[in-house]
Structure 1
Amino acid sequence: MHRSAKVLALCLMLGVTALLGACNTVSGAGEDVSAAGRAVTNSAERLRP
């Protein structure tokens, strides 16, 4: 395999790894936002007269 092909393959693998990590990060952020929304809703319902 030529040197440029090896470098390209390495870059592609690193890119895929970064994208997969980003998916987990976005998913975790969505769960955090959802939990915050539930907390606000619960607080508002407790304060309702």
Structure 2
Amino acid sequence: MLYYEVKDLKVRKGALECMVCLSEFEDNEELCLLPRYNHVFHLDCIDT
């Protein structure tokens, strides 16, 4: 998914950065969301 698709969810949770590299997201970046924990990652940070 793209960041702008989950931005509202993450704003309410207070976390707007990748849980691995801690960089803030850009609207057009592809991300992976772990729904159970609401953690969001850059694909490059978790996908080898």
Kindly indicate which of the two structures has a greater share of residues assigned to helix: 1
TM-score (norm 2): 0.20
Identify the structure with bigger relative contact order (alpha carbons < 8 Å, sequence gap 6+). 2
Kindly indicate which of the two structures has a greater share of residues assigned to strand: 2
